[in-house]
Structures are given as C-alpha cells and as structure tokens.
Structure 1
Amino acid sequence: MITKEQIPAVLDHPVLDEGGKKIGEAKHVFLDDATGRPEWASVKTGLFGTSESFVPIRDASLVDDHIEVPYSKSKVKDAPHVDVDAGGHLSESEEHRLYEYYGMRWDESWARANEPGEGGWARQDTTGTAGAAGAAGMAGAAGTAAGTGMGTGEQAGRTGPGYQDDAMTRSEEEMHVGVERREVGRARLRKYVVAEEEERTVPLRHEEVRVEREPITEANRDAALSGPEISEAEHEVVLHEERPVVETEVVPKERVRLTTEEHTEQETVRGQVRKERIEGDADTIDDPDEPGYGR
C-alpha cells in the first residue's frame, strides 16, 4: 500500500510490473477524495514516453527506488485512455471504466476495517460495480514535496473537488530526426572477351634465282674440262623464303575489384511541430464611483 507520505518517492520513479519489467515513469498520483488515500498513478509509457496509462496503487509497494504493481506491463499499457480535467480529477464515469478494467469492486467491509465511516475500493478477480466513492484527485510533486509548508489537511483540500491550479502547463512538440540505411542500387563487375586487330611489322627474307656467267680462265679451266665434251645436263637449286607465324599467350595485366566509399552530405529536413501558446487578458470591472458607470 502506498501512503500519502510516500508520494514524493513515487513521482518520477520507475514503475515495475509483477514480473519485474519496467512499465514507465510515475508522473501523477491521484487521491481518493473520500479517504485521501493514493488511489491511482499515471505512468508514462511508449518509446519516448508519449503515452500515459493509469494503474491502481492500492496494492502497490515501494521498493528501494521504484514501485511494484501486481499487474503485467501489457495490462497497464492497454488500460482505457482517460483525459484528466483542468482541476486534475478523474470523472466518476472514467473511474468506473478503470475499476472495471482492472477487475475491482466496492467493498464496504474493507472500508469499515480500514477507514471507519468512509468508502473504499477493493480488488477482486471478477468485474464488479463501482460504488459511490468520490472522484480521485491528482497530487503533484509540488503539493506533496517536503518543505511546501502545507499540512496534511491543506494538501487534501488542494486535491479535493473544485480545486483549480493557478498555473497552466505549456507544452511543445520537439522534432527528432534520425537516419535509416536503405539500399539504393547495386554495382557489379563483369568480365567478357573482345577481339581487337593489332599490327606488327616484321622483316621477311626470300631467295631468288640469278644466272651468273663467267669466262673460262686458267683458274677454272680444269673444272670446265672435267665433264664430257658434248652432253646434256640439269642443275637444280632450292629456293627459300620466310613467312610470318602468329602465336598468342595469356599474360595477366591487372587486378580489378569493387570497393565502396562513404560521402557525407548535409540535407535540411523540415517538419511541422505543434506548440502551445498562452495569452492572458483581463476583464475590467466598472467602479460605481466613476462617472458614466452603468451607461
């Protein structure tokens, strides 16, 4: 059970479910107007704490620096959405919805045992009907923190029906810009074969026949007279020439691979955020003593 004195230790502290999982942060505590006991806590949930769910703290316990409630995280996150009025109170119909969702009912025996003459609520396993307890009021950190100078009675009065805070809360949306990595294309290497014409100039030699005649001299006379005087004869000479011969061989020339490089570019992102603005005006009350009053 959470007492009124423990409210400062509840606000802005983690709320854990029955399995020890964190649900969120406690932002507000609502008191029962009839008993003055802490009855509900609003818990900020969601990725950026953008959602707020209500959870009963009648059976909750304060352990070290966190609160433990006897409900699962999903149970709390799926609780009915409730809009709190300007005075920081839950309407009777909204409170009925919450009690029915969490399976709680009015139990007068519990009320007499714990707060004689006052009403109370008790949890049960099946849905019951809400009784005539007053609407729950919200206790903020300013009203419960030590050193405010307000006694217990004054604190209960400030959370009772008809209490209007003397300040407004102005909120704004903040834009958070992140980045995501996505595929924009693919690059690949492909090897294929082409035939190109090349030219080379090489020297080629060949033999040609040339008839040489020489007169008979003393030097060749013996060779000339070695054969018969008159006869027929043939002499054959083999001619040669060079022709080009083309051969190819495979020679590695280079290695080719694909790599990636990251380049950073600045891009301006625009988006709309909503902001609350507060303006004040004053109504002038005519003075009966002023000339022209009542015209």
Structure 2
Amino acid sequence: MFPAENLRDWRGHKVIDQDGAKIGDLEAIYVDTGTDRPAFATVRVGFIGRHRLAFVPLDGATVLPDALRVRHDKRTVSEAPSIDLDGELPAASEPDVFAHYGMTYQPGTSGERRLARR
C-alpha cells in the first residue's frame, strides 16, 4: 500500500473500478487509527446538484498514471454508506461502512473510533 500523504496529492483525481469505469473523484483519505495506514477513501459520486461522498476501501487499490483503481465495482461503491459533501462520518456509522464491504469492524482497544480523516 502507498503512504497516505501520497494519496492526498490525488485529491480531485478520478477513481475507477477494476473494469476502468469511472466511479467518481477522490475527495479524502481515512486512515485506520490503530495503524495510521490508509484504509478508506471518499469518492464524490452522484449527479449534478445531488453529489455525496461514498466510502471505498483502499485495500488492493493501485495508482495508475491518471487514476486510482479500487477493487470494488462502480455499483457497489455507489451503494456504499455515504456522507454529504461537507459532512462527517458519525462514529455510530463506522460499522456500516465496514459491513457494506463484508469487512469486520473492530473499534480501538479503548473503544475509540477506527477511522480518522487525513
């Protein structure tokens, strides 16, 4: 996996699925608070006037010359839990993000949040 600071440079670049279909544009990176490694990205999806930020895991993602390719297809990402463009992921919604992708959610050892925006 690539460092979070490098991914931040990709803000606004397109995010594509394995087939090369554009999902949307990269907005932010969320790191795992236990490891401080990139875990999820938010992708700007939707139509004009109805945009939102959908969460997609970065596990298995690859950087191409002009895009970030994720392992999940466009439909799965479009149906993922999302927040408003100026929103923040509530702590109570973190398990839903993981569950959508079939991932196990485990809060921090002291009950702290698992994801932090960088």
The match for 2:41 is 41
The alpha-carbon distance between structure 1 residues 25 and 13, as it changes in their structure 2 partners (threshold 3 A), is: same
State the SS of the aligned residue for 2:2: coil
Distance 2:93 2:59 in 1: 17
Distance 1:67 1:52 in 2: 16
Distance 2:3 2:59 in 1: 9
1:17-58 Cα distance to aligned partner (Å, 9 max, x none): 111100010011112222111111111112327122111112
The alpha-carbon distance between structure 1 residues 92 and 136, as it changes in their structure 2 partners (threshold 3 A), is: same
Distance 2:9 2:68 in 1: 9
Shift of 1:81: 2.9
State the SS of the aligned residue for 2:44: strand
Shift of 1:135: 2.7
- 1:71 and 2:69 matched: no
Distance 1:132 1:21 in 2: 33
For structure 2, the residue ranges without an aligned partner over 5 or more in a row are none
1:62-101 Cα distance to aligned partner (Å, 9 max, x none): 111210001110100011234643xxxx444311101111
Distance 1:9 1:58 in 2: 18
Shift of 1:5: 3.2
CA contact (8 A) 1:62 1:68 kept: yes
CA RMSD of aligned residues (A): 1.9
The match for 1:80 is 81
1:137-286 correspondence to structure 2 within 5 Å: 137-139=116-118
CA contact (8 A) 1:41 1:57 kept: yes
Q: Percent identity?
A: 29
TM (norm. structure 2) is 0.81
Distance 2:82 2:54 in 1: 7
Structure of greater Rg: 1
Distance 1:38 1:46 in 2: 24
The alpha-carbon distance between structure 1 residues 71 and 56, as it changes in their structure 2 partners (threshold 3 A), is: same
The match for 2:106 is 131
Tell me the amino acid that sits aligned with residue 25 of structure 2: E
Tell me the amino acid that sits aligned with residue 102 of structure 1: Y
CA contact (8 A) 1:2 1:60 kept: no
The match for 1:60 is 61
Paired residues in the alignment total 111
Distance 1:4 1:28 in 2: 10
Higher RCO (Cα < 8 Å, 6 or more apart): 2
For structure 1, the residue ranges without an aligned partner over 5 or more in a row are 106-129, 140-295
CA contact (8 A) 2:106 2:114 kept: no
